[in-house]
Chain A
Amino acid sequence: MSDNLLRRLWRTKQGRIGAIVLGLAALLCLFGPNLAPQNPEAIDFLGRFRPPGAQNWLGADQLGRDVLSRLMTGARSTIPLALLATLLGTLAGAVIGTLSAYLGGRWDEAIMRSIDAVMAVPGLLLALLLVSSLGKGSLNAALAIAIAFTPGMARVTRSVALSVRAQDYVKAAIARGERGSFIVLREMLPNVIGPVVVETTIRVAFAVMLFATLSFLGLGAQPPASEWGLMVAEARRFVHQAPWIILAPAIAIGITAIGFNLLGDGLRDALNPRDER
């Protein structure tokens, strides 16, 4: 089944491009520091603002550090945390959403109205508030993103769970007197997971952007880390002299987010039963 899914994912154009982009990103996360041509922390005052060329392929920054090397090591402090934040948010949201759908009636109404109310606070603002009270730093930023994502994921999970619950095969299981745990785990869960995975994948793109934004605003990763959002923030003052310092991490963030968006859309197509036969 999962073999089949991967094959169908590969057959979609978006899925294939997304998988390739994210495969490269994964390589950077795993081996980035080993593959980096230079020491990302090595300061070279003679090479300050050196334009892209043979010595520094993507140029050097205000301290003469190699931009490419910083970019390659920075993948590790950007993508995994965004991924972790999304997974945490999905998990919490899935539990709340499933619970709400399972309880039904007044409880469901109360939980969902509260979720709607919490969603009146824009995601970025909620994350900002949380980081400001938890304290600056990468881990806290990731935690804040996870909490900011929870209500949205709860809403998605609940609506998927409700639509699955209305299916006749679930009714058949209820009618023949199956235990609640069997119905939730064996009949419903496998059918809920697909759409939730799609939503999660697309949300990782948002998490990457949100995480970079928090770092950009000075609340996420702290110097001298080579987190991409922080790299953009530090390079802003030198836009005029050396735009390449800012372009490289900015484009890296964009490409990673595009990769997750493409993979999510590809997964959606691959999971769509219309593509069967």
Chain B
Amino acid sequence: MSAVLTVENYTLDYRTGWGLRRALDAVSLSIAPGEVLGLVGESGSGKSSLAWAITRSLPTNAMEAGALRLGAEDLRTASPQQLGAIRGRRIGMVFQDPSTSLNPTIRLGEQVIEVLMRHRGLDRTAASAAAEAALADVELRDPAALMRRFPHEASGGEKQRVVIATVFACDPELILFDEPTTALDVITGARILDLFGRLRARTGVAALYISHDLGLVSRVADRVAVLERGVVVEQGVPADVFRTPAHSYTRVLVAAVPRPGHRLVEDTPPATTLLTATSISVRYARKRLFRPAPPAATHAVDFDIRRGEIFGIVGESGSGKSSLARALTGLAPFTGAIDLDGRRIAAMDRPYRRAVQIVFQHPDASLNPRMRIADILSRPLRLYGGDSAEVPRVLEEVRLPASYASKFPHQLSGGEKQRVAIARAFAAKPALVICDEITAALDVSVQAQVIELLLALRRAHGTAYLFITHDLNLVRQIAHRIAVMQEGVIVETRDAADLASPDAHPYTAALLAASPAPIG
């Protein structure tokens, strides 16, 4: 049985101003007909470089060695004409974000039709009919109407289905998936994966599935390969790799995957209420002369957080969970009432601002690029009656060396920056820290370290967290109670332990079904 794709001893370097930078180091992989190979790695592991190499779209400063073969054909020596016949026809590609991989100025239908005309030799009428059939195949309702729409007039899930329909319509030998669900909401992503499963069963296509998410890949793939800084450190059947990882890096990755069954917090917080939010509604803009008012981001949301509690809020993008965080920190206008320690907060005064701190999602944007770490940390210290002499202690608390005080943010890695942001929040000795998707921009292994740090800080200071996330598995590991938000409303609030009980809200059940626990 000959392989569909063979990567043999493939090495890739990029020429940079500072010499060669190795992206892939003697990688050998093969994909059999009908097989799905999962490729897992964190940012910088070289997984995207491999996709570029296979599709022959490397930047001009790339230097290669080794072999890349599609069937018996050598991809590295293929002429532009040969590549034109391979791309889209024999190798299909599904990208991470359908809203950037579809051309914004061309109707969706045309973007399918052009491929069918090119690769199946159809005329426009036949291609149009075939496109409609292809869109129906990916379970889109009313394909004819969708074909007349522009990408911005379709939802993310619809767009990704159009991309998948285009790929399958040409009946390729191999499909490259580059994180195809990462940019989508949890439930939409899960449906796309189900769709791929059905299409795969019907067509028997082979695929290379690239992802940072080991848990996800192990559900999709027949085999997984783990990539660490350009080197394939482990290959095997997902269940085996998961249960008995051989390489130390795989062990780190496996341990970092959040498992809802594996609680990281065992204590129960006291019953004293720390913060009560009553009827919080956030609306960003009023009606103006020529513009109708936009819909409210949250509608009359109520919740309370106990002293030292980890209170989780989960929801998909646009559910209003971040607006809630902004309201609680005085960053968004809102109506409703906030009580802290039984005191009604009329205006955001200093004691309240000190007690309630926030950490943002993007560590790059949350630290001023023109300030040294020492200046960034000494502001809250001085503001809340501390002393800049405490900066080394504050850094030590987040496990960063004191020498970092003199550095600028751009000299730090993403995880280190997020630690500084956490240190800045804790410098004020807060009672509540709002964590707004603080691990979403980080790699899994770094995420695990940041979570571990948060829990250690809580043990030391008894701080409560309002933990906002889209990752249900993660929040189920650490939160005491979880509120589920949908379209600006909290649909229910439950103890983390009985979130999965049968009487849960249908939306909660749908979210749970879309984020199954990883195998192993």
**Chain A residues packing against B (C-beta within 8 Å):** 1, 167-169, 171-178, 186-187, 190-191, 273, 276-277
Contacts and interface: CB of A to CB of B under 8 A. Distances in A.
Contacts of B331: 171, 174-175
A177 B348 contact: yes
A276 B18 CA distance: 12
A175 B367 contact: no
A186 B362 CA distance: 21
A187 B383 contact: no
A168 B365 contact: yes
Contacts of A191: 368-370
A230 B362 CA distance: 55
B520 to A, nearest CB: 37
B410 A168 contact: no
Given A177-B348, A276-B410, A169 B330 contact: no
B360 interface: yes
Interface in B363-392: 365-371, 379-380, 383
Contacts of A190: 368, 370-371
B410 to A, nearest CB: 5
A168 B360 contact: yes
B410 A277 contact: yes
Contacts of A172: 358, 360, 366, 421, 424
B55 interface: no
Contact of B357 (A167, A169, A171, A176): A176
A169 B365 contact: yes
B329 interface: yes
A195 to B, nearest CB: 13
A178 B378 CA distance: 13
Interface residues of B, number: 28
Nearest to A173: B379
Contact of B360 (A1, A171, A173, A187): A171
B410 A273 contact: yes
B383 A169 contact: no
B331 to A, nearest CB: 5
Nearest to A164: B368
Contacts of B368: 169, 187, 190-191
Which of A167, A169, A191: most chain B CB closer than 10 A? A169
A84 B314 CA distance: 56
B353 interface: yes
Nearest to B361: A168
15 contacts: A1-B370, A168-B365, A169-B365, A171-B326, A171-B360, A172-B421, A175-B329, A175-B330, A175-B357, A177-B383, A178-B383, A190-B368, A190-B370, A191-B368, A276-B410
Given A168-B360, A171-B331, A176 B366 contact: no
Contacts of B428: 176
B350 interface: yes
A112 to B, nearest CB: 15
> Which 6 interchain pairs have the tightest Cβ spacing?
A168-B366, A177-B353, A175-B329, A190-B370, A168-B365, A168-B360
Nearest to B359: A172
Given A168-B361, A175-B358, A186-B371, 10 more contacts: A167-B365, A168-B360, A168-B362, A169-B367, A171-B326, A171-B331, A173-B379, A175-B330, A177-B348, A190-B371
Contacts of A187: 368
Contacts of A186: 371
Contacts of A174: 330-331
A90 to B, nearest CB: 20
B270 to A, nearest CB: 27
A190 B368 CA distance: 9
Interface in B297-335: 326, 329-331
Contacts of B353: 175-177
A178 B329 CA distance: 13
Nearest to A175: B329
Contacts of A168: 360-362, 365-366
Contacts of A176: 353-354, 357, 379-380, 383, 428
Nearest to A172: B366
Given A175-B331, A176-B353, A177-B348, A169 B366 contact: yes
A191 B329 CA distance: 24
A277 B424 CA distance: 25
A239 B252 CA distance: 80
A191 B383 CA distance: 22
A80 to B, nearest CB: 30
B329 to A, nearest CB: 4
A171 B348 CA distance: 14
Nearest to B427: A176
Nearest to A275: B17
Contacts of A169: 365-368
A273 B370 CA distance: 11
Interface string B192-208: 00000000000000000
A165 to B, nearest CB: 11
Contact of A177 (B350, B366, B410): B350
Nearest to A277: B410
